[in-house]
């Protein structure tokens, strides 16, 4: 079984300030990690993903995340936020497919509860 | 199509009625997923299709929920005898065969049961 915890339900920040949205996961096998963003009345958009290799992952809109296996974390960061970054952000975990790296999943995602990022002028 | 298309975008139904929600995935995507997003439960997996078969339907909350996929393309999620707790946004996503690389989600169907 796997689970995801997003440590902050809401994060208010001023425009041009840096931001970090925290995500911790638990899993007994290797994982793939994702961050999605949801703007009001829209579906989920993939921001970035960690599958393997470099632990620092860069995504769209200037976001990046760092996979830390020892701390089982995948925190999302942006050095300078804009008003347009106001949205809800979801961290998610998936397992590799069966027969690979101990995985048992065909891509089913387990999501955290979400973090609402509000950027103030 | 260019993206995952879901219809209707909004549906209001009376308690006890049946509803059908449609998902049209990206052309060529063999994997298709349904999720439900509700205030109390967050984002929950419902069912996964690979082609027309559903190897994982472990997230369907009750036997009132069913889904099918035809021609390896369009999928329909059916909820029978709707209840107020079924009110949620139902999201569909599709992916190429190597599904772990991240999905493309549709905009969802907002279901309100009154």
Closest CA to B40 of B61, B25, B23: B61
Closest CA to B35 of B49, B53, B16: B49
Nearest by CB to A108, from B4, B56, B91: name it.
B56
pLDDT at B101: 67
Chain A residues with CB under 8 Å of B95 CB are 107
* Contact status, residue B113 vs residue B14, Cβ threshold 8 Å: yes
Asked if A107 and B103 come within 8 Å (Cβ–Cβ), the reply is yes
Instruction: Give the integer Cα–Cα distance in Å for A2 and A90.
Output: 15
Average pLDDT over residues A47-55: 90
**Percentage above 70 pLDDT, chain B:** 95
Task: Please enumerate residues of B whose Cβ is less than 8 A from a Cβ of A.
Answer: 4, 31, 33, 35, 42-43, 45, 48, 50, 55-56, 91, 93, 95, 98-108
* Contact status, residue A59 vs residue A75, Cβ threshold 8 Å: no
Instruction: Give the integer Cα–Cα distance in Å for B76 and B89.
Output: 15
SS3 of residue B88 by DSSP: strand
pLDDT tens for A69-108 read 999 999 999 999 999 999 999 999 987 666 555 555 577 8
pLDDT at A42: 84
* Contact status, residue B77 vs residue B46, Cβ threshold 8 Å: yes
**Residue A106 contacts B, CB cutoff 8 Å:** yes
**Residue A35 contacts B, CB cutoff 8 Å:** no
CA distance to partner chain A, nearest, from residue B23 (Å):
13
Instruction: Give the integer Cα–Cα distance in Å for B45 and A92.
Output: 12
Average pLDDT over residues B23-37: 93
Instruction: Give the integer Cα–Cα distance in Å for B76 and A56.
Output: 39
Asked if A110 and B103 come within 8 Å (Cβ–Cβ), the reply is no
Torsion of the alpha carbons at A119, B4, B8 and B9, rounded to the nearest 10: 10
């Amino acid at each position: 079984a796997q689970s995801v915890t997003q440590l902050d339900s809401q994060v208010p920040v001023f425009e041009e300030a840096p931001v970090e949205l925290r995500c911790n996961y638990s899993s007994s096998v290797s994982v793939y990690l994702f961050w999605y963003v949801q703007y009001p009345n829209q579906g989920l958009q993939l921001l970035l993903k960690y599958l393997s290799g470099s632990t620092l992952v860069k995504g769209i809109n200037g976001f990046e995340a760092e996979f830390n296996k020892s701390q089982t974390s995948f925190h999302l960061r942006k050095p300078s936020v804009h008003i347009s970054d106001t949205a809800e952000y979801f961290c998610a975990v998936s397992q590799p497919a069966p027969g690979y790296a101990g995985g048992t999943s065909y891509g089913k995602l387990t999501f955290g509860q979400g973090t609402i990022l509000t950027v103030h002028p | 199509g260019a993206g995952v298309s879901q219809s209707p975008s909004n549906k209001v139904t009376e308690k006890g009625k049946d509803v059908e929600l449609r998902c049209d995935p990206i052309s060529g995507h063999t994997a298709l997923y349904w999720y439900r997003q509700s205030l109390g439960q967050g984002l929950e997996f419902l069912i996964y299709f690979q082609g027309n078969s559903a190897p994982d339907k472990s997230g369907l909350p009750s036997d009132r929920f069913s889904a099918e996929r035809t021609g390896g393309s369009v999928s329909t999620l059916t909820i029978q005898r709707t209840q107020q707790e079924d009110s949620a946004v139902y999201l569909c996503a599709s992916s190429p065969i190597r599904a772990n690389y991240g999905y493309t989600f549709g905009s969802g169907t907002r279901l309100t049961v009154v």
